[in-house]
């Protein structure tokens, strides 16, 4: 039996924007099946650019990418399969949800894969159940809370049964409860996970392994607790743990 | 379905007109409008006949005259120009209450106002009895170019998002001391429109990327287009109005 190919295999990916600005300087990253990896890095590090490469939305100037053993290529059939395998949840759920009801939006991906009728309905039900949004299936996405919209956005991608789920800043703009609920959902999903974030506690909570991308290069790769413990490494790449917040009685904001 | 979604014109009741499939209503509305436009302007009686037809359909659709008249004020800016015609028109003059008016100009003004109003009424009746959602389904079934259908679908979805964005920008402007009640502070508003356009443009790009990620290849899957297509009987029923209008138009053309 052959060993399972890694869910994601990025080799020497370099990318220059049309204006000449180089966003990625040779990125190497392997994510094995079932792993949960946090991709950390400051704003402008190239995180989102890398994400857009994973399903062929951008084509690397150099290097190559394979998803579950299938190389990302320019022809239609390969791209269709790659886009099924890589489920990207974009940062702003309003960019992702564009159909009049939640159920229709979740059906969009699998319908593009050619599913019809009861099979399609089953996929939608399964994905909505996985994010706990089943009772909102006929509502308008716009009328849901932000946290609910993000959960629906996750469902729209889950419905395609991806090999790897890629989340771009999943915790941004969520209130603490919605943040915790989403973490609970993400932890139960039986998929490979790549989480792009600069929310370090969230990475610590969900991912055993972290990589730091800065200036278009992978500058660190290791177990999340180890990386987060290296204060100097974090500081060098504009990453910070939140201020240790220990409210004690008798202290006022001015410190008297 | 699509509850609370930009239902500015749609009237949520049940009537024989509401129950007709959207495609036959759209076809009837267009055919009716063509008949009206093709009518010679001198055949004043013909326009009376069209108005009666509109009134009959409105009664059938339980649309009140008040509702129809109030909303037809939308055409005012467009017909305003018509008011000037009798004064500036050349040729034969007629004396009305001591004012010299051009006969040709009077007919021209009548032509614009009568045909415009009838067209607006027909469109309003269509909008009042067909949800925006069904309108898009109807256009699709009439083999309207896919690209137009898609633009309409996105407009439907993103109208709310854009309105929300515009509202947030306005609040931010007012919070910084802008008072749009004064004409000389319209500058802020105008700049806001520009920013809104840019935002809409950028969002459009992100939405498109998110759609590609879910396997979009240029054609929306048609699976969720609920109700069945129109039967011959329904086509015949809906055809009565445009057929009567066409008869009127033909008679008017022969008589004048």
pLDDT digits (tens, 9 = 90+) for B186-207: 666 677 777 777 877 788 788 8
Asked if residue A186 lies in contact with residue A206, where contact means CB atoms within 8 angstroms, the answer is yes
Contact B160 A96 (CB under 8 A): no
Cα nearest neighbour of B155 on chain A: A98
What is the reported pLDDT for B95? 75
Compute the nearest-CA separation of A45 from chain B (Å): 19
Nearest chain A residue to B205 by CA distance is A95
Q: Check A142 against B160: CB less than 8 A apart.
A: yes
CA distance B28 to B208: 34
Residue of B209, B217, B221 to mutate for A, most A C-beta atoms under 10 A: B221
Look at domain A8-236 and name its CATH class.
alpha beta
Interface of B with A in 20-59 (CB under 8 A): none
> Taking all residues of chain A, what is their mean pLDDT, rounded to a whole number?
89
Per-residue pLDDT, averaged over A173-198, amounts to 92
**pTM (2 d.p.):** 0.71
- Whole-number pLDDT of residue A242: 86
Which residues are within 8 A (CB) of B127 and not within 5 positions of it... i.e. 6 or more apart? Answer: B9, B10, B135
Q: Is any Cβ of chain A less than 8 angstroms from the Cβ of B113?
A: no
Strand residues in A5-46 grouped as ranges (E):
8-16, 22-31, 36-40
What percent of chain A stands above pLDDT 70? 95
Most A-contacting residue of B215, B218, B219, B224 (CB-CB within 10 A), to test interface: B215
Mean pLDDT of A196-223: 94
Is the minimum CB–CB distance between B162 and chain A shorter than 8 Å?
no
Give the distance from residue A141's alpha carbon to the nearest chain B alpha carbon, in angstroms. 9
The DSSP-derived string for B65-131 is HHHHHHHGGGGHHHHHHHHHHHHH--S-EEEETTEEEEHHHHHHHHHHHHHHHHHHHHHHHHHHHS-
Question: From the candidates B4, B213, B225, which should be mutated to test the interface with A, based on the most A CB atoms within 10 A?
Answer: B213
Q: Is A237 helix (H, G, I), strand (E, B) or coil?
A: coil
Q: What are A79-114's pLDDT values in tens digits?
A: 889 999 999 999 888 888 877 789 988 998 898 888
Q: What is the pLDDT of residue A97?
A: 85
More confident residue, B216 or A66: A66
Give CA–CA dist B114/B48, Å, rounded: 10
* A15 pLDDT higher than 90: yes
A41 CA to chain B: closest CA distance, Å?
21
Among the residue ranges A100-104, A237-241, B148-152, the one predicted with the least confidence is B148-152
Residue appearing with tokens 């040729």: B91
Give B252's Cβ-side CA count (13 Å radius).
Answer: 22
List chain A residues with CB under 8 Å of B156.
100
Q: What is the separation of C-alpha A31 from the centre of its chain, rounded to a whole number of angstroms?
A: 13
Using CB atoms, pick whichever of A55, A94, A100 lies closest to residue B1. Answer: A100
Query: What local confidence, expressed as pLDDT, does residue A137 receive?
Result: 92
Nearest-5° Cα angle at A165, A163 to A166: 135
At A200 the pLDDT is 93
* CB-based contact, A113 to chain B, within 8 Å: yes
Of the pLDDT bands very low, low, confident and very high (cuts 50, 70, 90), residue B19 is: confident
Using the Cα atoms of residue A232, residue A236, residue A240 and residue A244 in order, give the sign of their dihedral: positive
Q: Which residue has the higher pLDDT, B130 or A16?
A: A16
What number of C-beta contacts closer than 8 Å exist between A and B? 91
pLDDT at B100: 77
Per-residue pLDDT reduced to its tens digit, B155-177: 766 776 777 777 777 777 777 76
CA angle, residues A201, A204, A209, in degrees to nearest 5: 145
Question: Helix (H, G, I), strand (E, B), or coil: what is residue B235?
Answer: helix
Is the predicted pLDDT of residue A255 greater than 60, yes or no? no
Contacts of A101 in chain B (CB under 8 A): 1-2
Q: Given an 8 Å threshold on Cβ–Cβ distance, is A120 in contact with B217? A: no
Question: Quick check: A111 and B223 CB within 8 A?
Answer: yes
User: By three-state DSSP, how is residue A38 classified?
Assistant: strand
* pLDDT of amino acid A121: 92
**A95 at B interface, C-beta within 8 A:** yes
Confidence of residue B2 (pLDDT cuts 50, 70, 90): very low
What pLDDT shows up at residue B86?
A: 78
């Amino acid at each position: 039996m052959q060993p399972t190919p890694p869910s994601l295999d990025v080799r020497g990916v370099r990318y220059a924007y049309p204006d000449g600005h180089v966003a990625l300087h040779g990125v190497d990253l392997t994510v094995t099946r079932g792993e949960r990896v946090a991709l950390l890095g400051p704003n402008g590090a190239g995180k989102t650019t890398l994400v857009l490469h994973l399903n062929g939305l951008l084509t690397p100037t150099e290097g190559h990418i394979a998803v579950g053993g299938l190389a990302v290529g320019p022809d239609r059939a390969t791209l269709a399969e790659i886009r099924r395998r890589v489920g990207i949840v974009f940062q702003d759920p309003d960019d992702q949800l564009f159909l009049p009801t939640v159920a229709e939006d979740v059906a969009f991906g699998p319908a593009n894969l050619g599913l019809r009728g009861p099979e399609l309905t089953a996929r939608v039900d399964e994905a909505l159940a996985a994010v706990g949004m089943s009772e909102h299936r006929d509502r308008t996405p716009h009328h849901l809370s932000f946290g609910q919209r993000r959960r629906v956005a996750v469902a729209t991608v889950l419905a395609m049964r991806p090999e790897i789920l890629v989340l771009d800043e999943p915790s941004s703009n969520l209130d603490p409860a919605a943040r915790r609920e989403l973490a609970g959902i993400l932890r139960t999903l039986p998929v490979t996970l790549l989480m792009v974030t600069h929310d370090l506690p969230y990475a610590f909570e969900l991912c055993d392994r972290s990589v730091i991308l800065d200036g278009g290069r992978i500058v660190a790769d290791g177990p999340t607790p180890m990386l987060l413990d290296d204060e100097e490494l974090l500081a060098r790449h504009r990453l910070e743990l939140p201020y240790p917040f220990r409210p004690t009685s008798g202290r006022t904001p001015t410190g008297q | 379905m699509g509850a609370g979604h930009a239902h500015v014109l749609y009237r949520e009741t049940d009537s024989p007109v509401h129950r007709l499939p959207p495609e036959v209503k759209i076809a009837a509305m267009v055919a009716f409008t063509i008949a009206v436009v093709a009518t010679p302007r001198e055949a004043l009686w013909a326009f009376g006949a069209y108005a009666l037809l509109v009134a009959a359909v409105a009664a059938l659709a339980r649309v009140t005259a008040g509702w129809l008249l109030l909303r037809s004020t939308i055409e005012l800016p467009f017909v305003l120009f018509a008011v000037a015609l009798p004064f500036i028109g050349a040729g034969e003059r007629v004396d009305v209450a001591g004012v010299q008016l051009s006969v040709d100009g009077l007919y021209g003004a009548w032509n614009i106002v009568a045909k415009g109003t009838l067209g607006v009424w027909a469109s309003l009746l269509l909008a009042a009895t067909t949800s925006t959602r069904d309108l898009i389904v109807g256009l699709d079934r009439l083999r309207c170019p896919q690209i137009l259908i898609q633009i309409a679908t996105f407009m439907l979805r993103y109208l709310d998002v854009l309105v929300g964005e515009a509202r947030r920008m306005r609040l931010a402007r007012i919070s910084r001391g802008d008072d749009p009640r004064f004409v000389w502070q319209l500058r802020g508003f105008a700049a806001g429109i520009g920013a809104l356009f840019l935002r809409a443009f950028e969002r459009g790009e992100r939405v498109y990327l998110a759609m590609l990620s879910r396997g979009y290849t240029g054609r929306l899957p048609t699976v969720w287009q609920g109700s069945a297509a129109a039967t011959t009987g329904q086509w015949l029923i809906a055809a009565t109005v445009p057929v009567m209008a066409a008869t009127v138009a033909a008679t008017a053309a022969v008589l004048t």
